[in-house]
Structure 1
Amino acid sequence: MERGRMSRVTGSRLSELPLRVQDNRMSMVYTTPQSKQPAFGKLSVSKPQSGTSERRTSFFGARTSGANMPRTSTMSGFGGTEKIKDARPLHDKSYVQQCIRQLHEFLTEQGFPGTLSSKTLQSPSTKEFVKMFEFIYRQLDPTFELPNSKVEEEIPAILKSLRYPFVLSKSSMYSVGAPHTWPQALGALIWLIDNVKICWSLSQQELLFSDFCEDSDNIEEGAQYNKLFLDYTVETYSKFIQGEDTFEAEDESFLNKLKKLYNVDEALLASMEEKHRILTDEVERLEKESQTDRLMTKKMEKMKLQTDLKKLQSYRSSLESFKANLENKASELKDELETTVSHLESLKHERDELQHILQNQKFTPADVERINREKRELQQTITSLTKSLEDAEQHKWNEEIALAKVKEKAELKLTEYHKLARKLKLMPPSAENACGHDFEIRAFECGTSSSVQHKTQIQMLLRKLISDVEEENSRLTNMKLSLEESCEQLNSNIMDKSNDLKQLREQIRKLDERLDSDMQELAREEQEWAAEMESVENHRKLLEKKVNFGYDEALQQLKAAQQQYHLVLQETNEERRTVANNLASVFTTAANHLSITEKSMEDLHSRVQQMCSKAVEEDDAALQKMRETLKTFKSKADSL
């Protein structure tokens, strides 16, 4: 802790040294007495200074007077306004997935109350995005509550107040989960998470240094510290005036005195450095091990296994239904087999009776021939029946194979239908385009009438949805045509006004040429004044010896005037920014209200003519005044 404070001491001292070589950028401020007015057609608006660009105040305090003024340039506030481009690859899918994993880990670690899934974070709804934003922002402000109305205006305003460097438009809040909108919203959430982590680290740092900062009022701002700092400043500044730029001996002695004042323990610092090095190596090792993101891979495997389990369950249910159908067919075949067996038993019994009758009676040759003929006929009948039975079994097998193929094709078509329905957000019933209707077709529903009724119901809902989409498409087409007509009308109006602006610019150019000729004439007069000033300078050298007694007072007045000049310069810059912003708003309003623009341009033209004439009169009056002053100065010099 003491070592960190020592480094802050040396760093702040180097930033307070005055420049030995003159800065050209500073000379630009002192050599321009008045700013140029922006030409019409080119609007120069000052670039707003970022609040994060301010330097941290060192713990020595702010000392900006005399030679210890910081080496800063006052010209950093000028520049045109430009939209900052987001350098993050938000359109890269791998980077977006990395940001989604980071968001998922943060919400899981902090105990997000809502449900989190990969599908939700791939394309969340506006309501889910608002919940995540509110949860993350509460890490910064636990008392924060997002209003129920106008959320699309509140969230961009909050990000702007937090100085988010990029623009999150109001229209993007209406469709956060869209592919072209979600990466920008995700980038804003990641930026907010980084701010939360920075605030946590700063609060932890304050806790680490709290024991040291308790007596800061007694040591850092005490008399001993001030005496050491003043002695160090006197020594270094005296050597700096003599021409030296490095003060290693003074720095070392000053650090030793500060170590004695703060009771710095070198052994403790060395042990803390060794401990910090060991912990850093351990953190690097753990980071290398965690690069594979095992938790996310396990979660993805779990999701895949869950989907496989659902598929197996659906396949099992289909098999059970198929088994029930086969059992029904088997029961039917069993009944048929029982009837066939009973018929066979009856035929056997009849055959036995006939054999008994045949054995007990005598047959004539005609009877034997008749019996043989009937036997042959019965054998032919048995053969034909056996063949028809085999054909029926083969036909049954072929029908079962065809049924399995048809069922497989139906399942594929049903899968494609469900996939297309999910893509169109028609499934489940709580989807965006489902409107509470169930568009899912379940396989192996009992009865053909229920499947036909379910199919007709889904077809009616889909026809209604298609008609609604066609009506919306026609309405948007009509709106597009009307907008194109209004755009063409506006373009024609803009062309007319641009021609008027060209005429006004030509008039302004002529005025500028006239102004340049006047400036050349003034330059010739300045040369004449320079010759006169040379003679006055000779008299000034003679008088300079007599006015040395008021030199100290003049230096003090000069310093006060310089400070006043800096204040006036800052006020002038602020006024210039305000005027530039007002001009920007005026030109924006002029694009929408063309009739008011014509009147404003006419007033502005007359005002420019008045200003030019007034400037010429003021220059003449100033020249006359300078001549009178020169004459009085010469008379005083002659009298002396």
Structure 2
Amino acid sequence: MASHGDRGIKAKPMRLSTVLNRPANRGAPTPLARPNIAPRLSKISRKSSAMGRGPLKADPRPLKDAEFMRIQQELVTQFLEARGDIHGLGPRALSGPSGKEFKVIVSALQRALDPRPRNVQAKVEDQVPTLLRRLRYPFQVSKSALTAVGAPHSWPPILGSVSWLVTCINYIETVVADRSLAGGAGSEVGPDVIKATSFEHLTRSYKAFIAMEDDKQEEIDEKMFAGFRQENALVAERIEAKKREREELSDRVAQLKTEQSPLSCAQQELDLVKRDQQKFETLIQAQQDQQKQLKQRVAERESDLAFKKRELSATQQEIENLRAQVAAQNISIDDVNKMMNERKKLEQMRANAAAHRANMEKEAYQLEMMVEEDLDKLQAQVHEYNVAAQHLKLIPQTAKRAGGRQLEINIDRTAHSSSELCPIDIKGFVIPALQELKEVYTIKWRSTGTHKLGLQEQHDSLCERLAEQKETHKEAEQRINKLEDDLQGIKDAIDEDARLAGKKIEGMKMAVERLKNHGEASVAQAAEEAKAAKAAYEEVARDCEAKEDRLTAAFNNMLDLLRESYQHVGVTIREVRDQIRLSWKEQGQPASNAMLVAPGTPLCTPLRSHAA
């Protein structure tokens, strides 16, 4: 395929010059309907960063997934149908093709890549790996899989490679082969066009040189430069147009950024509609409740009306009977007077009954107002109870301390009896449950108090131990200070002895110098004095070395004692501090780091540096 690509590059398809708008190669053969795109495909595959430089170890695509295979089969089928290469393939050719059907598919792909005819009849299992390798396919396709191409284990990776080739070809034909993408809309300026223009200028210049027409060279150059200037002007115009378009788009983007988006407006309207819907639902629920109450009252009034109608009919019947009785009686003056007196008594009784009714209605109104006030107070107390219960995690029923019990109290102000006022049994259920919780937490509080007293006693004992350890540490510090003073005194004594010994040695050196200045007569005496001085010097040196060894041993012993004492005190203080922290943690109090710093800690650093 690389050779085919090279031939495709060397071939001279017909190009139009952007300068003179005429064919650049008049003697070139007519190109085919579909140009060779193999070189471009190789260039694109070389530039692709997603495909990499070499074959990958494993294909990350789900090649054996049924849905993925169906999508790849549809892609290849559409590609073959668009080019009329579907003939010779069975209905299930892309599910597991035979060797002949796969050869038809490969031939269609090769014609799409390079439409020129070929005389080489190579095997498919030799052509496909070479083709994929030259096109930089990132995965390996073995010849053994191509030999048994229709096998269930061989076809999925081969189908993946075929779909990859189809995708590349579609991309080239739709994007890369479009020359307007290389030179802008309506432009033919590209690398090939520039090469053709340059080649045409070179041809004309060479023809003029052969014909010894040097005076035409300036004209040829001017034509080429005029074409370039024209193209530059067109490019500048397109650049200005693109700049204006970019500015318009920038203004539009800025305007869209400053304006409120339709989505946010719609969201706000939706929120308003939801709030209105919630309000209307609440209002509808309240109206439905009121409607139920009114229906109940209407039913009560209708029952009262029916009862009154029955009473009215009975009273009218009684009046009719009394009228009939009165009509049948013989009325005398005494009877009339008697009836008048009875009528006055009845009117008096009626007036008394009306006054009594008014008093009863007034008392009933007062009682109703008192009941409303009591209900308000009860509602407030119930609200306080519910708030406190919610704070104590007793409500709702799924709360932490509710234990699955319904302890929330609700008051129904529309109840007609005391039993309907509260649906939950307060005396029989709520109060016993609260008393049970109270007893449980009282027991916990008592046990916590006992535990707290024990921890307090433990804390006091630890504080006492800490005070004792502080005293011990203080005594150790005093001992350390005393030992340091002794050490300093010993050092001063050693320095004084060394100074005296140095002075003595200097005196001996001076005496030796004086003896050297004497004559030969005092040589023997000088030698004896020098020998005596040397012996005295060696004795003083031995004494100094012995004293230094003793002081060094004493100093090392003192340092060992100090180190052991300090380590013992530090371990004891850390144990006491850990116990105090543990006791505070059990009490639930935060441990103060300032109170738990081991006393004498600043002395650790100078002691270690001094020992070092």
Please indicate the TM-score interval, normalised by the length of the shorter structure.
0.3 to 0.5
When normalised by structure 2's length, the TM-score is 0.34
When normalised by structure 1's length, the TM-score is 0.33
- Larger RCO (CA within 8 A; separation ≥ 6): 1
